[in-house]
Protein backbone atom coordinates (compact mmCIF):
# COMPACT_ATOMS: atom_id res chain seq x y z
CA UNK A 1 0.00 0.00 0.00
CA UNK A 2 1.37 3.39 -0.98
CA UNK A 3 1.73 5.95 1.79
CA UNK A 4 -0.40 9.07 1.18
CA UNK A 5 1.23 12.49 0.87
CA UNK A 6 1.14 14.81 3.86
CA UNK A 7 0.72 14.09 7.56
CA UNK A 8 -2.52 12.38 8.56
CA UNK A 9 -1.98 13.45 12.18
CA UNK A 10 -2.13 17.06 10.99
CA UNK A 11 -4.81 16.63 8.33
CA UNK A 12 -7.43 14.53 10.13
CA UNK A 13 -7.99 16.82 13.13
CA UNK A 14 -8.32 19.73 10.70
CA UNK A 15 -11.36 18.08 9.15
CA UNK A 16 -14.83 18.35 10.65
CA UNK A 17 -16.02 14.73 10.57
CA UNK A 18 -14.56 13.06 13.67
CA UNK A 19 -16.50 9.81 13.14
CA UNK A 20 -15.18 9.44 9.59
CA UNK A 21 -11.63 10.11 10.82
CA UNK A 22 -12.02 7.96 13.96
CA UNK A 23 -11.16 10.85 16.28
CA UNK A 24 -12.51 10.07 19.73
CA UNK A 25 -11.33 13.01 21.81
CA UNK A 26 -10.04 16.54 21.29
CA UNK A 27 -8.10 18.22 24.07
CA UNK A 28 -6.54 21.67 23.97
CA UNK A 29 -3.12 20.42 22.82
CA UNK A 30 -3.64 16.73 21.93
CA UNK A 31 -6.24 14.42 20.44
CA UNK A 32 -7.08 10.71 20.43
CA UNK A 33 -7.49 8.86 17.15
CA UNK A 34 -8.03 5.19 16.44
CA UNK A 35 -5.26 3.43 14.57
CA UNK A 36 -6.48 2.53 11.07
CA UNK A 37 -4.25 -0.55 11.11
CA UNK A 38 -4.80 -1.80 14.67
CA UNK A 39 -2.91 -4.58 16.40
CA UNK A 40 -6.00 -5.22 18.56
CA UNK A 41 -9.49 -3.73 18.87
CA UNK A 42 -9.27 -0.39 20.65
CA UNK A 43 -5.74 0.42 19.42
CA UNK A 44 -5.57 4.19 19.95
CA UNK A 45 -3.02 6.90 19.31
CA UNK A 46 -2.55 10.11 21.26
CA UNK A 47 -0.95 12.91 19.25
CA UNK A 48 -0.34 16.63 19.66
CA UNK A 49 -2.01 18.92 17.17
CA UNK A 50 1.33 20.59 16.57
CA UNK A 51 3.53 18.90 13.97
CA UNK A 52 6.70 17.89 15.83
CA UNK A 53 8.83 14.82 15.28
CA UNK A 54 10.37 14.39 18.72
CA UNK A 55 9.16 14.19 22.28
CA UNK A 56 11.68 16.79 23.43
CA UNK A 57 10.11 19.35 21.07
CA UNK A 58 6.81 19.33 22.98
CA UNK A 59 6.10 22.18 25.35
CA UNK A 60 5.50 21.38 29.01
CA UNK A 61 1.77 21.98 28.49
CA UNK A 62 1.64 19.67 25.45
CA UNK A 63 3.60 16.98 27.25
CA UNK A 64 1.49 17.12 30.42
CA UNK A 65 -1.77 16.94 28.48
CA UNK A 66 -0.36 14.17 26.29
CA UNK A 67 0.25 11.91 29.28
CA UNK A 68 -3.02 12.90 30.97
CA UNK A 69 -4.77 11.90 27.75
CA UNK A 70 -2.96 8.55 27.76
CA UNK A 71 -4.17 7.97 31.32
CA UNK A 72 -7.73 8.91 30.35
CA UNK A 73 -7.55 6.61 27.31
CA UNK A 74 -6.55 3.66 29.50
CA UNK A 75 -9.53 4.28 31.79
CA UNK A 76 -11.90 4.41 28.80
CA UNK A 77 -10.46 1.26 27.25
CA UNK A 78 -10.64 -0.66 30.54
CA UNK A 79 -14.35 0.18 30.89
CA UNK A 80 -15.20 -0.49 27.24
CA UNK A 81 -13.16 -3.64 26.62
CA UNK A 82 -12.24 -5.06 30.03
CA UNK A 83 -8.68 -5.48 28.78
CA UNK A 84 -6.18 -7.25 31.00
CA UNK A 85 -3.24 -5.02 30.14
CA UNK A 86 -1.82 -2.51 27.68
CA UNK A 87 1.17 -1.97 25.47
CA UNK A 88 1.95 1.75 25.48
CA UNK A 89 4.76 3.16 23.43
CA UNK A 90 6.30 5.52 20.92
CA UNK A 91 8.39 4.75 17.88
CA UNK A 92 10.44 7.88 17.37
CA UNK A 93 12.20 7.96 14.02
CA UNK A 94 11.97 5.73 10.96
CA UNK A 95 14.74 3.41 12.21
CA UNK A 96 12.72 2.82 15.40
CA UNK A 97 9.77 1.59 13.34
CA UNK A 98 7.67 4.77 13.20
CA UNK A 99 5.11 4.56 10.42
CA UNK A 100 4.51 8.30 10.83
CA UNK A 101 7.97 9.48 11.78
CA UNK A 102 7.44 13.21 11.31
CA UNK A 103 4.67 13.59 13.95
CA UNK A 104 5.24 12.22 17.46
CA UNK A 105 2.42 10.07 18.85
CA UNK A 106 1.84 7.40 21.48
CA UNK A 107 0.23 4.03 20.79
CA UNK A 108 -2.11 2.47 23.35
CA UNK A 109 -2.87 -1.17 22.56
CA UNK A 110 -5.30 -3.11 24.77
CA UNK A 111 -4.19 -6.67 25.54
CA UNK A 112 -5.95 -9.79 26.81
CA UNK A 113 -4.69 -13.15 27.97
CA UNK A 114 -4.24 -15.30 24.86
CA UNK A 115 -4.94 -12.49 22.36
CA UNK A 116 -2.27 -13.68 19.95
CA UNK A 117 -2.79 -16.39 17.37
CA UNK A 118 -0.79 -18.32 14.80
CA UNK A 119 -1.58 -16.07 11.79
CA UNK A 120 1.32 -13.58 12.24
CA UNK A 121 3.77 -16.46 12.61
CA UNK A 122 2.52 -18.51 9.65
CA UNK A 123 1.77 -15.84 7.07
CA UNK A 124 2.58 -12.37 8.45
CA UNK A 125 -1.15 -11.60 8.72
CA UNK A 126 -2.92 -10.02 11.69
CA UNK A 127 -6.53 -10.84 12.43
CA UNK A 128 -8.53 -8.15 14.24
CA UNK A 129 -11.93 -9.53 15.26
CA UNK A 130 -13.80 -6.23 15.17
CA UNK A 131 -14.36 -3.60 12.46
CA UNK A 132 -13.08 -0.08 13.13
CA UNK A 133 -16.58 1.39 12.91
CA UNK A 134 -17.81 -1.02 15.63
CA UNK A 135 -14.92 -0.10 17.89
CA UNK A 136 -15.56 3.60 17.29
CA UNK A 137 -19.21 3.19 18.35
CA UNK A 138 -18.10 1.48 21.58
CA UNK A 139 -15.71 4.31 22.45
CA UNK A 140 -17.54 7.35 21.04
CA UNK A 141 -18.55 9.80 23.77
CA UNK A 142 -16.67 7.91 26.52
CA UNK A 143 -13.92 10.50 26.96
The answer to whether 105 is a known catalytic residue is yes
For residues 12 and 15, give the distance between their C-alpha atoms in angstroms, rounded to a whole number: 5
* Active-site position among 43, 66, 103, 105: 105
Q: Tell me the catalytic residues.
A: 105
Amino acid sequence: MEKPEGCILCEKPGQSNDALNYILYRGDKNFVIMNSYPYNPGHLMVAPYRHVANLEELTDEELHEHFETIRQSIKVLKRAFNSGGFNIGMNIGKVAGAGIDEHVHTHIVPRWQGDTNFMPVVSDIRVVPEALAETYKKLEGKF
